[in-house]
Copies of this chain bind each other. A is one copy, B any other.
Amino acid sequence: GRKVLIVYAHQEPKSLNGSLKRVAVEELSKQGCSVTVSDLYAMQFEPRATRNDIVGCLHNSEEFNYGVETWEAYKRGGLSSDVIEEQKKVQEADLLIFQFPLYWFSMPAIMKGWIDRVLVQGFAYEFPNCYDSGFLKNKLALFSFTTGGTEETYAKGGISGDIRYLLWPMQHGIMHFCGVKVLAPHICFAPEYVSEEKRKEMLIAWAQRLKTLWKEEPINCSPEWYFK
C-alpha cells in the first residue's frame, strides 16, 4: 500500500478544509493507502526558525546561520525532535498533500514554518543536488487549497492574475527544488460565497479525483506551465 502524508493547516475541523482533509483520509484509506496527517494547528507546530531547532552545541556560536546550523545538526542527528518526527513522515511518504486556505497568495505561516524547518539541507537537498536531483525525488506532491477570491479574479486577465502565477514559489521553488514531482493543484474557489449544495459538490469532486490519482501524470514544472 502507498503512503500518504497530509500536511494540514486549518484551525476549524468543521471548515471546508477540514472536510477536504477528512475526505482524503477516507478515500485514500479505502484504497489501501496508509495515511498520516500532520494537523499543524492542533500540534501547535512551531513555525519560527530559531536556535532551538538545534540540540546541543552550535557549529559556530559566534554568528548564528540557520541554514548552516540545521545542515550540520541534521548530519549528526541533532535537530529538535519535532523536526525529526516530520522528516520521518516525509521520508516514508510516496505522496505529500498540502491542504490549506490560501493566505495572501501563499500558504499560512504555520505551514510555511513546516517547510522552513523540515526541509533542511542534507535531508531534502544538498548542493548541487537540487531540482531533478533533489533528495526527495520519487515522491509526489499535490497542493489542495481554498481561496477567498473567485475563479474570475484568478483568471489570466483578472485582477489577481492567473492562479498559476502564485503556484510558482510553492510548486517549483519548494517541491520541485527538492526533486518532488508535482500533480496538478486542486483548487476550491471562494467556498464562502457559494451554497452548501455547491460546497458538497466540491467534496465529491475531490473524492472523485482521488479515486484515479495514482494514474495521473505530474505537471511539467517549468516556466511554460506557469507563465505560458
Contacts of A12 in B (CB 8 A): 63-65
State whether A47 touches B105 (Cβ < 8 A).
Answer: no
Contacts of A123 in B (CB 8 A): none
- Does residue A78 face the partner (Cβ distance < 8 Å to B)? no
State whether A169 touches B104 (Cβ < 8 A).
Answer: yes
- Does residue A218 face the partner (Cβ distance < 8 Å to B)? no
Q: Which of B15, B49, B161 contacts A109 (CB 8 A)?
A: B49
Closest chain B residue, CB of each to CB of A119: B104
State whether B15 touches A63 (Cβ < 8 A).
Answer: yes
A185 to B160 Cα, complex, angstroms? 20
This chain: copies in complex: 2
- Does residue A194 face the partner (Cβ distance < 8 Å to B)? no
Closest chain B residue, CB of each to CB of A115: B104
State whether A223 touches B165 (Cβ < 8 A).
Answer: yes
- Does residue A137 face the partner (Cβ distance < 8 Å to B)? no
Q: Which of B49, B62, B165 contacts A11 (CB 8 A)?
A: B49
A49 to B45 Cα, complex, angstroms? 12
Contacts of A162 in B (CB 8 A): 223
Closest chain B residue, CB of each to CB of A113: B109
State whether B112 touches A50 (Cβ < 8 A).
Answer: no
- Does residue A103 face the partner (Cβ distance < 8 Å to B)? yes
Contacts of A77 in B (CB 8 A): none
Q: Which of B51, B62, B103, B116 contacts A116 (CB 8 A)?
A: B103
Contacts of A107 in B (CB 8 A): 112
Taking the closest CB of chain B, its distance from the CB of A157, in whole angstroms, is 9
State whether A11 touches B169 (Cβ < 8 A).
Answer: no
Taking the closest CB of chain B, its distance from the CB of A156, in whole angstroms, is 8
- Does residue A87 face the partner (Cβ distance < 8 Å to B)? no
0/1 interface trace, chain A 88-121, chain B, CB 8 Å (1 if under)? 0000000000000001111111101101110100
